[in-house]
Structure 1
Amino acid sequence: MIPVTQGLLYLPVLCVGLLVARATRRWIKQTPLHKIPGPPSASFINGNLKELLDVNHGWSFHSSIIQTYGRIIRIWGYLGDTQLYISDPKALYNILIKDQYIFEETAFFLKSNQLFFGPSLTATMGDHHRRQRKLLNPVFSVNHMRYMTPIFYRVTHQLSDIVKTKISGGSQELDMMEWMSRLALELVGQGGLGYSFNALDENVRNEYAEAVREFSPTLAKLQPYGQFLPWAARVGPSWLRRWLAKTVPWEDLNRMVNIIDVMEKTSTNILDAKKRAFEKGDEAVLHQVAEGKDIMSVLLQANMSASEDTRLPDSEILAQMSLLIFAGMDTTSSALARLLHLLSEHQNVQDRLREEVMNAYKSSESGDLDYDTLHELPYLEAVCRETLRLHSPVATMTRTARKDIMVPLDVPTTVGNSPVSEIFIPEDTTVFIGMRAINTDPLIWGPDANEWKPERFLNPLPESVTDARVPGVYANLLTFLGGGRACIGFKFSQMEMKIVLSLLISTFKFTPSKTRPISWKLHGVSMPMQDGIPTPSLPLVVSLVEDDGRI
């Protein structure tokens, strides 16, 4: 019999042997994919994943492989794992809609969402996911967005007043990324949770706000190691995994655990306060921040009146709260910052947009614009659509094939020396959905696909766009994905963007800063950065718009 201590010495060798055996079996099964064109592997250990997820150079890597290899690209993963990067519209229709139950979320995505947020909408599958979505759908409907418009205006007016005070002595350079982050958190706090984080008050230190701001940058640093997360999640009971994550000498992992702890504690406190208010009756609910019109209040009411077999337990309500904050903050603040940055660089577009929204405000009897009026402003709609087309805050999402499948293509590709109109995808193959790639495909959007031209959405779209049948839920784009796992809050996000943009542009003029150049980095969610500054920032020169009708 081998002594225990000697056996422990063999354990690493056994683990490596099992890993190599698994990688070899997978390599053999994925042989049909090896002849698909794609970039050479940077290393056998990491493949192309570090290049694909690189914070500083990730965007340029994405652009280069799309331009070089087209719509179907072979990517190397860990230890020779063969993965695909797909932006072909017909293939993506099959992946996201027709065969969406074959192409499911990756194990890393599901497990990380489970660990970070709990059993949220992004961490559940099958009937469980559909049951959650059915209960959540009404609170993200157009009718409910109409009720929430005054809440969003109230918060945005608060920011507008703060900015006015800061530039009362004349134009000033302000970090608009910081203010868009603060604004996005307060918007989703009041509109989503019926809770104020006091995020717009610079004198209030908010532990939750700081944790949420650190979430995406910290996650981006951990993402290259994400494929090992499903294995790590099987190590012992949850208390042991948590203890290990907090004590191992890995700063980013330790920080992520602390962030999750803060988010969970705050969400629990908010939920408890809401339940106490509902127990006290309508009067107590009306005294809450959003007077019971926020998403979580409506969800709680719907959940209490739901049948027992469709009702969500508190753990799932808490999970949706944490997910809502994360999903509603980073992507919205990124999109708003990008809009302001682009408008500062295109003064003609900014002036035209300002004229449209100011005319609408002057015609409004209540001062603010209602939901329907906002969505009837054609140039505002065009500016938002074009920005979300060219600059999707997220470049890709991933899926895993749960069984062998043939996927048809819109445009034939070459495998080896042979043109093919469909590709074989073996079981367990990871697929990167090229959201930004399909949004900027010259075959769909024309030779100017990589130029920012809001005017393209003022005219009927060309047949190349309509005939492509991009399987998205918004504006012939894949920015909010498509199918049964499309972004449930895309109408919420659109309303935020339009209210913020219309109010700020009608009140302030934005011009570029001359301090340091801005470059947009791939932090999971795209973020503006200055050289030498470790946190996202977007300095813009802000001045008042002189108009006796508004100021």
Structure 2
Amino acid sequence: MSSLSNFAETLIICLVSWILWRVFRRLVMTSPLDNIPGPPSNSFWTGNLRQILHRHQGWGFNNKLAEEYGSVVRFHGLLNTPILYAFDPKALHSILLKDQNLWEEPPWLIATNLLLFGPGLLGTLGNWHRRQRKMLNPVFSINHMRFMTPIFYRITHSLRDAIYNQIEDGPRDVDLLDWMTRTALELVGQGGLGYSFDPLVDESPNEFRAAIKSLVPALFALAPFRTTLHYLKAMGPASFRRRVVDILPIPSLKRLKTIAEVLESQSREIFHAKKAALAQGEDAVVRQVGEGKDIMSILLRENIAARPEDRLPEEELLGQMNTLVFAAMDTTSNALSHILYLLAHHQDVQNKARQELVDISDGRDLTYDQLVDLPYLDAICRETLRVYPPVTNMTRTAREDAVLPLSTPFRGVNGKLIHSVPVPKGTDVYIAIRASNRNKALWGSDAAEWKPERWLSPLPDAVPEAHIPGVYSNLMTFGGGGRSCIGFKFSQLEMIQPIQKRYRVELGEYQVPHDRAQLE
């Protein structure tokens, strides 16, 4: 215990020294970012971070930044450190594509992901990250997505029956967000890991599901101070870090530790079961939940067949498992819930989507190629991902002094026109995904409105001409460049199939017809 006490004293001294240095530097040094327009600081300690990262009011503050200040904004971070908020197309193209070697995810974010998920795609940088991505790219091919379709149908059939059973004795409230969370976890469980987390037949508690679901709220509780979490990584071995967290009076940090332990324990159990099945031969693999067609089974085979220097070690494979579950569950469940909510408030859209499905399906499950070739259902998904992207912002840090080019000049605080923005080394830039997707200069005056029909005719010329660096439909929803979402096709399939089962949604509430035939 004495070593921990000495460590705590040293940590406090280092923290106070760091704060004094940051305050002194901010008082005596100017920054070229001071000339960028932006909101006043809301707090000396946390700047505007509590506003932009607020769980309930964050969207409103993001809207304010985009509407009142423009496509490049300066706001305040810890101790009023300047941070950029940007959705200018040229600036994004520079950060994510043209000069992406100058920009990386910030150290605090990488360290947090490494502590939570292990050394997967979200917790690695540079050549380490590129080597992993090279191995994983073929696993997420469209051909493999075709194999996922029957797996996903089995799950959505179970979901359909579970909801029907809830209202079989008469109308009642149905918690769709909870069902979409459970469904998304089972989709990524069976399709991603070849493992069933939830049979979708009762409301029994599930420790793993609860841990994943509480991860984002726990991170939000720590949001203004997440930039300091990476110091935990430098505290020695994991056992010592756990002891440090246990003595710190920070409940959210303790909760994160518990979540990370649950993730690691479950992933190791699944991983060793899959390794054992592979060792027994193909017959044992096909008897597993995913029948050997899930992403992890494919990855393990690819890894065994790869050259020794290209193979991923066990810890990195475990890191991919944790990363996949988190990335594919939370975002997909939110997107699915949003789509169903929007359909409930747009009966005309719901009717058109239902008719499109009735015309093609004849009550049968559709193939992958048929699913992705439904123009109106596709428009509904694209428009929801445009207006309500599950991730609002992502962050990059300048590794060196950089200059951001601009599509449209703007006036600085001093009144002079700014044609490019000099960015000092170490500056964080929030890539404003939601603001980019709703940019009125590109999408028109109705950019913030949900209108699936806009995807059924040519988009405004300004949209393709802007060269948005996103990997999906001129949108930033799945990111762009070398760190774009590798599994966005998997995510699309996760969303389309539950919707394709055509649950009937009425204005203002969720209702399932009592005639089971109408559910088919």
* More displaced stretch, 342-351 vs 409-418: 409-418
CA offset at residue 232 of structure 1?
3.2
**Residue 374 (structure 1) aligned with residue 343 (structure 2):** no
Query: Secondary structure, in 3 states, of the residue corresponding to 2:165?
Result: helix
Report the AA paired with residue 403 of structure 2.
M
In 2, the alpha carbon distance for the partners of 1:349 and 1:379 equals: 9
Report the AA paired with residue 145 of structure 1.
M
CA offset at residue 275 of structure 1?
0.5
Report the AA paired with residue 303 of structure 1.
N
- Equivalent residue number for residue 466 of structure 2: 468
CA offset at residue 23 of structure 1?
4.5
CA offset at residue 273 of structure 1?
0.4
- Equivalent residue number for residue 329 of structure 1: 329
- Equivalent residue number for residue 94 of structure 1: 94
In 2, the alpha carbon distance for the partners of 1:244 and 1:224 equals: 20
Is contact 2:76–2:83 with CA below 8 Å preserved after alignment? yes
Counterpart selection for 2:506 from 490, 507, 511:
511
In 2, the alpha carbon distance for the partners of 1:65 and 1:510 equals: 35
Query: Secondary structure, in 3 states, of the residue corresponding to 1:172?
Result: coil
In 2, the alpha carbon distance for the partners of 1:462 and 1:291 equals: 45
- Equivalent residue number for residue 76 of structure 2: 76
In 2, the alpha carbon distance for the partners of 1:27 and 1:436 equals: 33
Is contact 1:192–1:324 with CA below 8 Å preserved after alignment? yes
**Residue 387 (structure 1) aligned with residue 356 (structure 2):** no
Q: Deviations over 1:461-486 (max 9, x none)?
A: 11011111111000110000000000
Structure 2 length as normaliser, TM-score?
0.95
Counterpart selection for 1:449 from 447, 465, 481:
447
Cα distance 1:332–1:13, how it changes in 2: closer, same or farther (>3 A)?
A: closer
Counterpart selection for 1:479 from 471, 477, 480:
477
Summarize the alignment of residues 334-413 of structure 1 with structure 2, pairs less than 5 Å apart.
Answer: 334-362=334-362, 367-413=364-410
Is contact 1:84–1:430 with CA below 8 Å preserved after alignment? yes
Is contact 1:172–1:543 with CA below 8 Å preserved after alignment? no
Is contact 1:30–1:426 with CA below 8 Å preserved after alignment? no
CA offset at residue 45 of structure 1?
1.1
Query: Secondary structure, in 3 states, of the residue corresponding to 2:202?
Result: coil
Query: Secondary structure, in 3 states, of the residue corresponding to 2:154?
Result: helix
- State the Cα RMSD in Å: 2.0
Report the AA paired with residue 198 of structure 1.
D
Is contact 1:119–1:315 with CA below 8 Å preserved after alignment? yes
Summarize the alignment of residues 60-459 of structure 1 with structure 2, pairs less than 5 Å apart.
Answer: 60-198=60-198, 200-362=200-362, 367-415=364-412, 416-459=414-457
- Equivalent residue number for residue 516 of structure 1: none
Instruction: Report the structure, 1 or 2, having the larger strand content.
Output: 1
Query: Secondary structure, in 3 states, of the residue corresponding to 1:122?
Result: helix
In 2, the alpha carbon distance for the partners of 1:91 and 1:152 equals: 39
Cα distance 1:108–1:167, how it changes in 2: closer, same or farther (>3 A)?
A: same
Is contact 2:160–2:519 with CA below 8 Å preserved after alignment? no
Q: Deviations over 1:294-346 (max 9, x none)?
A: 00000000001111100000000001001110001000000000000000000
In 2, the alpha carbon distance for the partners of 1:21 and 1:169 equals: 66
CA offset at residue 139 of structure 1?
1.2
Q: Deviations over 1:522-547 (max 9, x none)?
A: xxxxxxxxxxxxxxxxxx43122869
Report the AA paired with residue 68 of structure 1.
E
Is contact 1:27–1:80 with CA below 8 Å preserved after alignment? no
Report the AA paired with residue 350 of structure 2.
Q
Query: Secondary structure, in 3 states, of the residue corresponding to 2:379?
Result: helix
Is contact 2:386–2:475 with CA below 8 Å preserved after alignment? yes
Q: Deviations over 1:405-440 (max 9, x none)?
A: 111100112222111211100100000000000100
Unmatched tracts of structure 2, length 5 or more: none
CA offset at residue 14 of structure 1?
6.6
Report the AA paired with residue 368 of structure 2.
Y
Cα distance 1:99–1:11, how it changes in 2: closer, same or farther (>3 A)?
A: closer
CA offset at residue 15 of structure 1?
4.6
Report the AA paired with residue 450 of structure 1.
A
Unmatched tracts of structure 1, length 5 or more: 514-539
Report the AA paired with residue 149 of structure 1.
T
Instruction: Report the structure, 1 or 2, having the larger helix content.
Output: 2
- Equivalent residue number for residue 528 of structure 1: none
CA offset at residue 25 of structure 1?
3.5
Cα distance 1:29–1:392, how it changes in 2: closer, same or farther (>3 A)?
A: farther
CA offset at residue 237 of structure 1?
3.5
**Residue 543 (structure 1) aligned with residue 512 (structure 2):** yes
In 1, the alpha carbon distance for the partners of 2:240 and 2:49 equals: 29
**Residue 495 (structure 1) aligned with residue 493 (structure 2):** yes
Q: Deviations over 1:382-415 (max 9, x none)?
A: 0000000000111100000010011110011222
Q: Deviations over 1:107-126 (max 9, x none)?
A: 11100010001111111111
In 2, the alpha carbon distance for the partners of 1:101 and 1:131 equals: 16
In 1, the alpha carbon distance for the partners of 2:176 and 2:518 equals: 25
Q: Deviations over 1:254-288 (max 9, x none)?
A: 11111111110010000000011011111101100
Cα distance 1:494–1:13, how it changes in 2: closer, same or farther (>3 A)?
A: closer
Cα distance 1:185–1:162, how it changes in 2: closer, same or farther (>3 A)?
A: same
Is contact 1:173–1:541 with CA below 8 Å preserved after alignment? yes
Q: Deviations over 1:182-210 (max 9, x none)?
A: 00000000000000012513254322111
Is contact 1:51–1:57 with CA below 8 Å preserved after alignment? yes
Is contact 2:470–2:481 with CA below 8 Å preserved after alignment? yes
CA offset at residue 19 of structure 1?
2.9
Query: Secondary structure, in 3 states, of the residue corresponding to 1:174?
Result: coil
In 2, the alpha carbon distance for the partners of 1:401 and 1:187 equals: 37
In 1, the alpha carbon distance for the partners of 2:366 and 2:100 equals: 39
Q: Deviations over 1:81-118 (max 9, x none)?
A: 11100000010000011111111001111000100011
* More displaced stretch, 220-229 vs 272-281: 220-229
Is contact 1:403–1:428 with CA below 8 Å preserved after alignment? yes
Cα distance 1:248–1:19, how it changes in 2: closer, same or farther (>3 A)?
A: closer
- Equivalent residue number for residue 537 of structure 1: none
Query: Secondary structure, in 3 states, of the residue corresponding to 2:512?
Result: strand
Report the AA paired with residue 372 of structure 2.
H
Report the AA paired with residue 200 of structure 2.
L
How many residues end up aligned between the 2 structures?
514
In 2, the alpha carbon distance for the partners of 1:203 and 1:462 equals: 47
